[in-house]
Amino acid sequence: MPQSITQAFVVQWDKQIRLQTQQHESRLVSTVTDRGSITGESFTANMLAPLEDTPENTVRHGDTTWSDAQHSTRVALMRDFYQALPVDRNDEPKLLANPLSGSYNASLIAAHNRRKDRIVFGALLNPANLKEGGTVALPSEQKILAGSDGFTKAKLITARKIFRKNEADNHDGEELYIIYNSDMLDDILSDTTLTSADFMAVKMLQEGDVSKKWMGFNWIPYEGILVEGSVATTVAYAKSACHFGTGFVEGKANRRPDKKDLMQVSMAASHGATRVDEKRVVSIAFNI
């Protein structure tokens, strides 16, 4: 009769801790104006409204007539963030795959980068704070409503038209961006109104993506856009439309004597952002 030796089989345990699928790098911070290091609880962005066209001078040696310069100041409040992961002191020598070898650090950094993107996305869409009090919401003329459609080429053309009308495109030195998610990708690649030439211009058929530049926009993949029920809202914007600042970023790995000397890995940071010009931002709603 055959003998079973399954109890002697060997299990090879993994010596690494691998991160599950997630967004690791910040996608949005590099697409807005980075104000760098910020000292204090907030930072401001000063704006000067356009002047009237230069008046004709019809009086020789006449009195000086001044124009009125309209100033406004936006305020970005700094917000603090903190996250920590513990490894019990008694567990460390028992772990073949030690999370302190780098996986915990990498996971904390990825979470921090996603938080930065949430701050930028919120600043682009939410009301901006004024120094004198009150807020400024994104006006209706800067919003493309969902209607009964998904994300279409027609909406993209309308957004491009708004930037051109506002003198907020490449002709005035602006770099334009648009945030897209998987639902938008599905709509774009399935849109029969797009010609082969449109697809080939950015190799969308070959790569199955809309990254790079198309229709005057740099396409930024981000799954954190606003979703309310069956309606999603993304945003197109100029790089100068939003200012982002950093108070501090600090990562630590240290023993906690108050917790039986366990090892704690942590990430702390302070960030703030504000929209500075509504005419450089267009929100686009669509059905999903």
- For residue range 248-285, what is the model confidence (pLDDT) as tens digits? 999 888 888 898 888 888 889 999 999 999 999 999 99
**CA–CA distance, 222 with 31 (Å, rounded to integer):** 12
Structure tokens at 143: 């919003």
Q: What is the pTM of this model?
A: 0.84
Res 60: pLDDT: 87
**CA–CA distance, 173 with 177 (Å, rounded to integer):** 13
In this model, does residue 4 exceed pLDDT 60? no
Q: Domain-by-domain residue ranges, the chain?
A: 71-287
Res 97: pLDDT: 46
What is the overall mean pLDDT for the chain? 84
The string of DSSP letters for 157-209 reads HHHHHHHHHTT-SGGGT--EEEEE-HHHHHHHHH-TTS-HHHHHHTTHHHHS-
Q: Band the pLDDT of 101: cuts 50, 70, 90.
A: low
Who contacts 151 (Cβ-Cβ below 8 Å, separation ≥6)?
Answer: 180, 183, 184, 187, 188, 234, 284, 286
- For residue range 207-257, what is the model confidence (pLDDT) as tens digits? 656 656 788 899 999 999 999 999 999 999 999 999 999 999 998 888 888
φ/ψ bin of 162: left (φ > 0), alpha (ψ from -120 to 50), beta (otherwise): alpha
Res 21: pLDDT: 58
- For residue range 156-205, what is the model confidence (pLDDT) as tens digits? 999 999 999 999 998 988 999 999 999 998 888 887 666 555 555 545 55
